């Protein structure tokens, strides 16, 4: 039997944020109300720390952020890293070698900072970039002419890397190749054109489990919200796993509850009507 909610973990994109990438007034008010009642609210995102939006960081009382799919956990104040995983040098080199001849590009994340490729920005159609994702990349990435070379230069200090691939069959083939070549990585995907890779012990569940232990909170007292497969392990771990109406079918099937669409204040609805915490 679940216990009263003491910690809420919020995925951001297509969950807590609307389609414009903003936090609605209703969601903001619900989060603040929960915090004022003594409930911890943390970010649980695939985003790197430096790409977290001001809409969220400005909410008073949100203290912690699980970032890069659990590769790093931060106390937001002072950008204090409480726990982190780094990809092994060998796994990074293996991934680059395995995909060198594929029509893909990469993103790299180092100590919360995000790096991308100028080729992605110059040829967005090649990588299936939407107008929104292109704008997001331009705002949040330090762009590199040779992103693969940059990754090799920093192969022993990477929080995580993304492979950007605009072909689902090729994406699945790359996953198989990597799995056959190394067991040192954790792979997941938040959107169709991304394959997100971090150290094998990462994952949002890993980050949430660390934070629960850090705060002395039982998993049965945790509510976790998400929309995509990178939220799956976290949704299963939490006592209250909540999927958005717009979530993938796989995530909905694994969740305990389904709330409204992210453009219809689904987080606020769940706070009021499922969790009864505000």
Assess whether pLDDT exceeds 80 at residue 202.
yes
pLDDT of residue 7: 98
CATH class of the domain defined by 89-199: alpha beta
* Spatial contact of 74 and 50, defined as CB atoms under 8 Å apart: no
Mean pLDDT over residues 173-197, rounded? Answer: 96
pLDDT value for 18: 97
Is it the case that residue 1 has pLDDT exceeding 70?
A: no
Q: How confident is the model at residue 153 (pLDDT cuts 50, 70, 90)?
A: very high
The full 3-state SS of the chain, as one line of letters, equals CCCCCCEEEECHHHHHECCCCCECHHHHHHHHHHHHCCCEEEEECCCCHHHCCHHHHCCCCCCEEEEHHHCEEEECHHHEEEEECCCCHHHHHHHHHHHCCCCCEEEEEECCEEEEEHHHHHCHHHHCCCHHHHHHHHHHCEEECCHHHHHHHCCCCCCEEEEECCCHHHHHHHHHHHHHHCCCEEEECCCCCEEEEEECCCCHHHHHHHHHHHHCCCHHHEEEEECCHHHHHHHHHCCEEEECCCCCHHHHHHCCEECCCHHHCHHHHHHHHCCCCC
CA–CA gap between residue 163 and residue 166 (Å, rounded): 10
Binned at pLDDT 50, 70 and 90, residue 134 comes out as confident
pLDDT at 49: 97
Q: Tell me what pLDDT residue 116 has.
A: 96
pLDDT band at 181 (very low <50, low <70, confident <90, very high): very high
Count the neighbouring beta carbons within 10 Å of the beta carbon of residue 52.
20
Q: What is the pTM of this model?
A: 0.95
pLDDT tens, position by position, 222-269: 999 999 999 999 999 999 999 999 999 999 999 999 999 999 999 999
Return the pLDDT at 114.
97
* Percent of the chain at pLDDT exceeding 70: 100
For 14-52, write each residue's pLDDT tens digit.
999 999 999 999 999 999 999 999 999 999 999 999 999
Q: Which class would CATH give 7-84+203-273?
A: alpha beta
Please tell me the distance from the alpha carbon of residue 8 to that of residue 235, in angstroms, as a whole number.
Answer: 11
CB 91 within 8 A of CB 202: no
Q: Which residues of 190-202 are buried (b: 16+ CB within 10 A; e: fewer)?
A: bbebbbbbbbbeb
pLDDT(159) > 80: yes
For residue 2, pLDDT beyond 80: no
What is residue 131's predicted lDDT score, i.e. its pLDDT?
84
| % pLDDT > 90, the chain | 92
Across the chain, what does the average pLDDT equal?
A: 96
Contact predicate 82/69, CB 8 Å = no
How far CA 177 is from CA of 86, 95, 121, 180, in Å, comes to 21, 9, 27, 5
51-104 per-position pLDDT tens digit:
999 999 999 999 999 999 999 999 999 999 999 999 999 999 999 999 999 999
Q: What is the C-alpha to C-alpha distance for residues 185 and 262, in angstroms, rounded to an integer?
A: 30
- Res. 163: pLDDT tops 80: yes
Q: Do 240 and 5 touch, CB atoms closer than 8 A?
A: yes
Domains of the chain: which residue ranges?
Answer: 7-84+203-273, 89-199
Ramachandran angles phi, psi of 129, nearest 5°: -75, 130
């Amino acid at each position: 039997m679940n216990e009263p909610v003491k910690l809420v973990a919020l995925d951001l994109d297509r969950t807590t944020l609307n389609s414009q990438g903003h936090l609605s007034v209703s969601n903001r008010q619900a989060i603040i109300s929960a915090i004022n009642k003594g409930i911890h609210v943390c970010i649980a995102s695939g985003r790197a720390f430096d790409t977290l939006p001001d809409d969220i960081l400005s909410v008073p009382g949100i203290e912690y952020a699980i970032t890069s799919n659990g590769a790093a956990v931060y106390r937001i104040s002072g950008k204090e890293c409480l726990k982190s995983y780094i990809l092994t040098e060998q796994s990074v080199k293996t991934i680059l070698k395995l995909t060198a001849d594929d029509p893909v590009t990469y993103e790299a994340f180092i100590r919360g900072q995000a790096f991308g490729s100028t080729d992605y920005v110059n040829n967005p159609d090649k990588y299936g970039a939407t107008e929104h994702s292109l704008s997001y990349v331009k705002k949040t990435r330090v762009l590199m002419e040779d992103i693969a070379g940059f990754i090799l230069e920093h192969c022993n200090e990477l929080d995580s890397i993304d492979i950007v691939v605009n072909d689902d069959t090729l994406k699945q083939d790359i996953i198989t190749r990597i799995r056959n070549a190394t067991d040192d990585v954790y792979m997941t995907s938040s959107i169709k054109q991304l394959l997100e890779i971090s150290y094998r012990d990462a994952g949002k569940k890993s980050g949430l489990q660390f934070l629960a232990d850090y705060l002395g909170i039982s998993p049965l007292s945790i509510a976790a919200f998400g929309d995509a497969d990178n939220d799956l392990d976290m949704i299963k771990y939490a006592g209250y796993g909540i999927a958005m109406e717009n979530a993938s079918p796989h995530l909905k099937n694994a969740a305990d509850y389904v709330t409204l669409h992210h453009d219809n204040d689904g987080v606020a609805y769940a706070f009021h009507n499922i969790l009864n915490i505000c």
